[in-house]
Structure formats: C-alpha cells, structure tokens
Amino acid sequence: MEKKKSKKKINSSTFLLMITIALFAVMYIAGMIIFNDKGFAKPQMFMNLFISNAGLIVIGCGMTLVMITGGIDISVGSVTALVCMSAAYAMENKGMSAVAAVVISLLIGTLFGIVQGYLVTYLEIQPFIVTLAGMFFGRGLTAVISTDMIAIQNKTFLKWANYRINLPFGTYNRRGIFIPAYIYPTVIIALAVVILITIMLKFTKFGRSLYAIGGNQQSAVMMGLNVKRTKMKAYVLDGFLAGLGGFLFCLNSCAGFVEQAKGLEMDAIASAVIGGTLLSGGVGTVIGTLFGVLINGTISSLITTQGTLSSWWVRITLSALLCFFIVLQAVIAAVKRKKKKK
C-alpha cells in the first residue's frame, strides 16, 4: 500500500496540467515545422499569441477563480463588448479622457460582479442562469448604447494601444538588419495579473478558501470559513477582471461594436478547463489557464496561417478540445470514485 502511494506522486490535477503544457508544446512545435515558410517559427509569432490574447488571459483568470469555487460565469464575453462600447462611447461621443474610460470599464465589470455575485451567493440561484441573463443583459445594453461601430480615435488611448516595447531578441531580415520582437503594455498587465492571482491563490487565506469551498462547501462552513463572503468576493473579483480584460481587449481592437467578443465566454471557459480547472470546482491554477489561452491562440493562429481553412474551424476545434477535456475530467472522476469504493 505504502509503496504504491509514494510511486503515485503525480496526482490527477498535475497530470491534467502536464497534458496541457505538452499539448501546447507539441502544437506549437508542429506549427513551427509545418508553417516555417510562413514565418510561424519567428519569435514575434510567439509574442503575438500574448498580444492578441492579453484580454482573454485576464478574463480567463477571473473565470478560473469562480470555477474553483464550483461556479461559472458566461457573461464575460458580453461584459467585454459592453466595456469596449462604453469606453469608445465615453471617449468619442462624450469627450471623456482615456483614464476616465479605464475607470468606467473597471466599474462596469465590478458592478456585474457584485450583482451576479449577490444573486449566486446570497439568493443561491444557479450561477449558470444568473450569468446567462448577465450575458444577454450586457450584450443588449451594448446595443442600447450604440448599434453602430464606434472606432476609437482618442490620442492618449491610441498611444497606449500602439506603445511598442521592444524585446532583446528578434529576427534578422533579408538584409541582415535586426528586427526586435515586441510586445504591447497589455501583455505586461496580463502577465502581472497572472502572477498576482497565482500568489493570491497560493498564499492568502482568501485564495485557499476558494479551493476549500470548491472542494467541499459543507466542510468549508464547518471549518469556520465565511463561505458566502468568500464566494461573493470571487464573483466581484471575476467581474473586475472581466472589466480589465475587456479594456485590454479594447486596446487591441480600438473599437466598440455589438458583435464584439462574441463567444469569448466559451474561450475563457475552454481555456480554464483545458488548463486543468475542474468544472466541479476545487482544482485549478491560473498558470494552467494561461496555457489554455495559449493553446486556444495557437489553434486560431495555426488555422489562420494555414490559410485555406475557414475561421469557424477555430470554434469547432476548440469546442471539440473542450469536449475532450470535459469527458476526460468526468472519466477521471468516475475512476477515482470506483477506486475509492474498492
């Protein structure tokens, strides 16, 4: 018995994370080999993964938090659209400053978090229903602000959006001139969020409480944790991060329109699940989610680079991958249960 245990050092959640990282590596390297001629192997290509997904990384972090408690939030895509639209509207139609737009974005996200969190936590309504309503509400409200696309021309905003940070590595062009790889500030913010949330999850009472609640809510109550307040906080933080992620998304798109970020909730959920977060709660890391996002991004850039496949393949592939991981989780859980019984 004892020997078996020490041998089986890798538990199932680490196992899932390892699958994810390996999957990412395999996919990316395969892409580099197959599409080398199309520049897939360039460092900038890798950086682009972060650039185009900075918003999603942040939103995915929020999603991971609520999923750890056993909840879910499918309103994030709409919140992103609402944030982009509001920011664009505030700057372009109301003449507000870019800083004010940031504040508005964060406020919108946080408000969503507060209301949804209250309904889920204190009125004990299924998170899915609550956030489904939130999803429609947000999207509808976006249309209420404007049904037309608003392109952002605010100077400060564009300066933020186009501020390149060159990296000490890159490629040489045909003439041998060094072209450094670059990123945008959004990437730094996104990575900072990942690091901060990782620390929070690992080293604060709040972070550990989230896991405890997801593991066994009843026990968490018995052990004297304030379950309701913790869950509420998780939803508020998730809302805040959706607002922040939405703004980063906006920096990338520089526009607000109704159809924006459609299906982003799916990307976020898929990234979290692929990154090893359990739908049943209690397990998950934002590092895993980061890799989930990267896989997500790799799929879409592989398909775009390939050129002949249409864009809906991204959705289908991602859904298939999500389905695979969900089934994998269900199977692992079933095997575990069976083992426990024996």
Partner 1 sequence: MSNEKKKFNWKAVTQHHLFLPIVCLLVVLLVNVIKTPDFFVISMKGGVLYGYLVDVVNRASELVIVAIGMTLVTAASGGQDISVGAVMAVAASVCCQILSGGQVSTDTLMNSMALAIIAAIIVAGLCGAFNGFLVANLGIQPMVATLILYTAGRGIAQLVTKGQITYVRVDSFKVMGGYIGKCPIPTPIFFAIAAIILINIILKKTALGLYIESVGINGSASRLVGLNSTMIKFLTYVICGVLAGVAGIVASSRIYSADANNIGLNLEMDAILAVALGGNVLSGGKFSIMGSVIGAYTIQALTTTLYAMAVSADQLPVYKAIVVIIIVVIQSPVFRRNMEAWKQKRALRNKAMEGGH
Partner 2 sequence: MAQNEILTMKGITKTFPGVKALSNVDFKLCKGDIHALMGENGAGKSTLIKVLTGIYPFDAGEITMDGRPMVNRSPQDAQNNGISTVYQEVNLCPNLTVAENLFIGREPRKLGMINWSEMNARSRKLLQSLDIEVTPTTLLDECSIAIQQMIAIARAVDMECKVLILDEPTSSLDEDEVEKLFVLMKKLKAKGVGIIFVTHFLEQVYEVCDKITVLRNGELVGEYDVENLPRVQLVAKMMGKDFDDLADIKSERIGSVKEGESVIEAKGISHHGTIKPFDMIFNKGEVVGLTGLLGSGRSEMVRSIYGADKADSGEIRVFGKKVKINTPLDAMKAGMAYLPEDRKKDGILADLSVRENIIIALQAKRGMFHPMKRKEMEDAATNFINLLQIKTASMETPIKSLSGGNQQKVILGRWLLTNPRFLILDEPTRGIDIGTKTEIQKLVLRLADEGKSIAFISSEVEEMLRTCSRMAVLRDGKKVGEIEGDDLTQEKIMETIAGGEKSNE
E-state strands within 100-256:
150-151, 165-172, 178-183, 255-256
Partners of 165 in beta bridges: 183
Report if residue 119 touches partner 1, rule: CB under 8 A.
yes
182 vs 211, beta carbon nearer partner 2: 211
172: which strand partners?
178
Cα distance between residue 341 and residue 16, in whole Å:
23
The answer to the question of residue 215 lying near partner 2 (CB under 8 A) is yes
Q: Which of residues 219-258 bind partner 2 (CB under 8 A)?
A: 219-220, 222-225
Interaction of residue 147 with partner 1, rule CB under 8 A: yes
Q: Which of 210, 269, 272, 299 binds partner 1 (CB under 8 A)?
A: 269
State the Rg of the chain over Cα. 21
- Hey, what are 108's tokens? 């919108």
Say which residues have a Cβ less than 8 Å from residue 271's Cβ, sequence separation at least 6. Answer: 56, 60, 63, 289, 292, 293, 295, 296
Which of 139, 227, 248, 260 is close enough to bind partner 1 by CB under 8 A? 139
Burial grade of 209 (CB within 10 A; 0-12, 13-18, 19 or more) = buried
**Residue 120 binds to partner 1 (criterion: CB under 8 A):** no
Which residue, chain included where needed, has tokens 């004892």?
2
From the list partner 2, partner 1, none, partner contacted by residue 76 (C-beta under 5 to 8 A by kind): none
Pick what 202 binds: partner 2, partner 1, none; C-beta below 5 to 8 Å, kind-dependent. partner 2
User: Least distance from C-beta 319 to partner 1, angstroms?
Assistant: 3
Which residues from 276-335 bind partner 2, rule CB under 8 A? 282-283
Contacts of 259 by beta carbon, 8 Å cutoff, 6+ apart: 81
d(CA 200, CA 93): 38
Letters for 175-204 (x = contact with partner 2 by CB under 8 A, - = none) are: ------------------------x--xxx
- Neighbouring residues of 237: CB distance < 8 A, sequence distance ≥ 6: 62, 65, 113
Select the binding partner of residue 125 from partner 2, partner 1, none (C-beta < 5 to 8 A, by kind): partner 1
* Piece in contact with partner 1 (CB under 8 A), picked from 94-102, 191-199, 287-295, 314-322: 314-322
63 touching partner 1, by CB under 8 A? no
Binding site for partner 2 (CB under 8 A): 5, 8, 11, 13, 199, 202-205, 208-209, 211-212, 214-216, 218-220, 222-225, 282-283, 336, 341-342
